[in-house]
Amino acid sequence: MTEQLQLDNGLIRISDDVVSKIAGLAALETPGIAAMSGGLSEGWAKRLSGKNVQKGVTVEVGQLEAAIDLRIIVLYETPIHEVCRMLQQNVREAVESMTGLRVVEVNVKVEGVAFKDDEIDDIQFRAK
């Protein structure tokens, strides 16, 4: 779906996919985040590369606001609560600064833990 913002000079349309991509890129740039998760409905969570940053991201975009849900895998030995707070802040700032939308919530679901940063291509994790 595409959201329209009515301005004095006309309409601005921002696609949900655009907001998803911005949120996904901001998430992957956050320290302590190993990968986005494809979801547990597919069985084990899958590690996704930067080409598929929209995987693990769900957005709801209104006229002036957006809500974002993220499914992530964190690096082992990182304080999960701190990584998630930083993730929420980074995603909020990226989406708000690039789109002008107000982000009302960024919900984070941690679906796994990556054991070694060096083996990111062959990721191992535990999923609930």
> Please, what is the end-to-end C-alpha distance for the chain in angstroms?
31
Q: What residues does each domain of the chain span?
A: 14-36+53-112
Residue 114 has pLDDT above 80, yes or no: yes
Which helix (H) or strand (E) segment holds residue 111: the answer is: strand 102-114
Token code pair at residue 21: 């991509």
Q: At the topology level of CATH, where does 14-36+53-112 sit?
A: Alpha-Beta Plaits (3.30.70)
pLDDT, residue 5, reads: 57
Query: pLDDT at residue 113 above 80?
Result: yes
Q: Kindly give, in sequence order, each residue whose CB lies less than 8 Å from that of residue 31, ignoring residues fewer than 6 positions away.
A: 78, 83, 86
The 10s digit of each residue's pLDDT in 14-38 is: 889 999 999 999 999 999 999 998 7
At 39 the pLDDT is 59
pLDDT at 48: 45
Distance, in Å, from the CA atom of 15 to the CA atom of 1, rounded to the nearest integer, reads 6
- The pLDDT tens digits for 39-69 are 544 434 344 444 445 689 999 998 899 999 9
Asked if 10 contacts 78 with a C-beta cutoff of 8 angstroms, the reply is no
Look up the pTM and report it. Answer: 0.77
